[in-house]
Amino acid sequence: MFWKRKSKKQEGQEATDSAAEVAEDTKEETDDAVESEGKGAESEAAAEESDSEKTEKTEAAEDEASEDTDTGSEADDADDTEKDDAEADGSDSDKADDAGETDVFAGEEDEEQQVGVTGPDPEGITRVRTAGVFEFGDEKFDVVNNTWIVEADKDGVIVIDPAHDAEAILKAIGDREVYLVACTNGYSPHIGAALAIAEETEADIALHPREMRAWRRVHGAEHRPEIEVEGGGALDVADLHIDVLPLPGTSPGSIGFYISGLGVVFGGDTLREGGPGTVGDTHLDYTTQLASIGENLLTLPPDTRVLPDRGPATTVERENKNFDSWV
């Protein structure tokens, strides 16, 4: 049971007074009143003068306290203003650095050429960097590419853009099932290890039909991807809903995989940190590629992470600030 004790303190009376003290005070007040009635006009004048002096002193004290309060309030206001300004100045800087602070795949320019495994991050995404040679036309390029392993549920994953080293990718997958191998286009850095991983794990491969010519250059005509995907479609794999984005430009059938539930988009070589991606060392169809970026990537929510085929991660918000300089 809850009960509330009454306060010992009465109005004008300290809580520590005993009953005897209260009675004594009452008696003294009565005696004072009788004695006061017997006094003459002189006593009344003195009392009035005393009251007047008290009033003047009280008013002076109140004025002084008010001045001190106003001065203190002004100082506090100034401190608050300085604090607010400092917080405002720092907020933009903090926002600009968010990607580097919160994304294990961001802000690693110095490590871009290092192979290895990073993650998983809080969203269950692991990156495997592998090295290989990309042949385009008559030229060869030494490249280090990102393969993305995305947790689809507690038992299995999807693999996006498996490049170069199937053994390293399979080691990162471990004993989990592979539900799907998804490729953003048909260049070798996006499909090089796709067939080996699919055969080892009995997974299906998803690729845009317009990328079949590039696929045959790497894997021949006898092994075809099981799933044809095009921009505007969608895939549901275990717990993941994946929207397929049309991203032509670097190749006719380039696509992206947007997983809104994780706040990420895998855009292949269409957009990398700081600018549009290249094929080898050139842009094949720059105008179309820019349109794909502006219409289908940078229209995603600003905090969406962009996980590319090469280099560190970035965000839609960060790359939106750079778009005008690319046009």
**What is the per-residue pLDDT across 268-312, written as a single tens digit (0 to 9) for each?**
999 999 999 999 999 999 999 999 999 999 999 999 999 999 999
Lowest mean pLDDT: which of 30-39, 96-105, 132-141, 241-250?
30-39
- pTM of the entire predicted model: 0.71
Residue 37 has pLDDT above 90, yes or no: no
Span 259-268, pLDDT tens digits: 999 999 999 9
Task: Count CB atoms within 10 A of the CB of residue 117.
Answer: 16
With 80 as the cut, is the pLDDT of residue 27 above it? Answer: no
Q: Is the pLDDT of residue 55 over 70?
A: no
Question: What pLDDT shows up at residue 256?
Answer: 98
Percent of the chain's residues with pLDDT above 90: 65
- The average pLDDT across 178-207 equals 98
> How large is the average pLDDT for residues 68-76?
46
Check residue 88 and give its pLDDT: 43
User: pLDDT class for 108, splitting at 50, 70, 90?
Assistant: low
Q: Is it the case that residue 15 has pLDDT exceeding 70? A: no
